[in-house]
Amino acid sequence: METAVGSENTPLTSLSEEDRLFQSSVRQFAREQIAPHVRTMDEQGVFRKDILRQMFELGLMGIEIPEEYGGQGGTFFQAVLAVEELAVVDPSAAVIIDVQNTLVNNAMLRWGSTEQKKRYLPRLATELLASYALSEAGSGSDAFALATKADEQGDHFVLNGRKLWITNAAEAGLFLLFANVKPEAGYKGITCFLVERGVEGFVVGKKEDKLGIRASSTCELVLDNCKIPRENVLGEVGKGYKIAIETLNEGRIAIGGQMTGLAHGALQHALSYARERKQFGKPISDFQGVQFELAEMATLVEASRLLVYNAARLKERGLPFLTEAAMAKYFASQTAETVASKAVEVFGGVGFTKDYPVEKLYRDAKIGRIYEGTSNMQRVTIAKQLLNKG
C-alpha cells in the first residue's frame, strides 16, 4: 500500500507504510539523540561514540544486510531515506551511514565471497565501522589514476601508497582500499582489498580540518609495505574498477539524499524563524519578498527529493539509473547550496553567526558539489548518456 505522507518535515511524497514508519523512526532518533549535540560535534570536529553506537543498535549501519547476517534486511530506498532524514539534523551523521550502507555494505554483498560475507557482514551490521578508500592526491575526478601499488607475491600482496580524503577513516576498523596490481594495464589492474585497521604497514594519518561536515572524519591513509593476504581481495584481481564504478553510481543517489535533507533542514529553520521574527510590527513571513524566497526554496527541495527518489526506485527495480543518479546528485547539491544560502539571508545578521544552525548547514552544503563526483563530472555523465541515446 502506498500513502501520501506529509508532516512538518516532509512534503507530500508517495511512500509505502513500511517506508513511512522507517522514516519516522529515523527522524525521531535524529531529533532526540543527535540534534542536541550537533553544534558541539561540529566545533570539536568529532562524532560522538555513543551516537555511533546507537546507530548500530538501531540497525542504521546495516540496512540492506540480510537478517541472516544480523542486518535489517531492508532496501536501498530505505538507506536513502535514512541518509536524508539524518541530514535534516546533521549532514555529518548522514554521510557516515551513507558510506557504510551504499558503498561498503553493498560492495560486500555483491562481490564478497561466502567466507568474506560470513566474516564481515555480521560485524558491519552491529559494530564495525567501515571506510571506502579510492581517492589519492593525483586521483580525484580521474578516479582511476591510482598511484597506490599492490605487488603480487605468492599468497599475498604488498601495498604501498597514500590515500587522501577518506571518509570515516578516524573511526573505521575496515577499509575497502583500491590499489593497482598492474599499473601498465591502466584501470584493468585496479583491485579492491579488504584492509583491517592495525595491520602492519597501514597507518591512518592526518585528519583534515574541514569547512563543513566537520564531525565526519576525513583522513589520509599511508601504506608502507602493507602485507594483505590473497583472501582479502574483494571480487577478482583486476576488477576493482568495476566495483568502484558501480558502487559510486549508487552512492551518488544517497549523496543526493543527503543534500536534499540538508536543504530541507535549512528550509524548516527559515520557515520557523520567518514566523517568529518581527519587523515593522509584524512577522517577516507576512512580507511578499520573504514569501517568494521561501516558496522558491520549498520548490527546489521538493524537486530535488523527487529526483532522488526516482533514481533510487529505478536502481531497486533493476532498471537503468545512471543518468537519473547523476541528475539527482547534481541538482540536489545545487539545491542544498542555494537553499542554505537563502536560509542564512532569511535569518539576516544572526544567520551569519554560529548561534543559529543555518550557518553550519551553509558550510556543510559546499561538499555536495565536490565529493562522489563533482558537479562538472555529473554534467559530463548526463550529457554523454543523452547523446548516446541518439
Q: Under a CB-based contact definition with an 8 Å cutoff, are residues 125 and 100 in contact? A: no
Q: Is 372 a catalytic residue?
A: yes
Ramachandran class of 15: left when φ > 0, alpha when ψ lies in -120 to 50, beta otherwise: beta
Which strand (E) or helix (H) includes residue 202?
Answer: strand 202-207
C-alpha grid cell, residue 188:
584493468
Cβ burial 234-261 (10 Å sphere, 16+ → b, else e): bbebbbbbbbbeebbbbbbbbbbbbbbb
For residue 84, the number of C-alpha atoms closer than 13 Å in the C-beta half-sphere is: 32
- Determine phi and psi for 355, rounding to 5 degrees: -75, -15
Which of 205, 184, 169, 346 is closest to 270 using CA atoms?
346
CA distance to 22, 261, 269, 301, per residue, from 88 (Å): 15, 4, 10, 12
Which of 139, 163, 47 is closest to 100 using CA atoms?
47
Q: Under a CB-based contact definition with an 8 Å cutoff, are residues 308 and 336 in contact? A: no
- Determine phi and psi for 144, rounding to 5 degrees: -100, 10
Show which residues are catalytic.
372
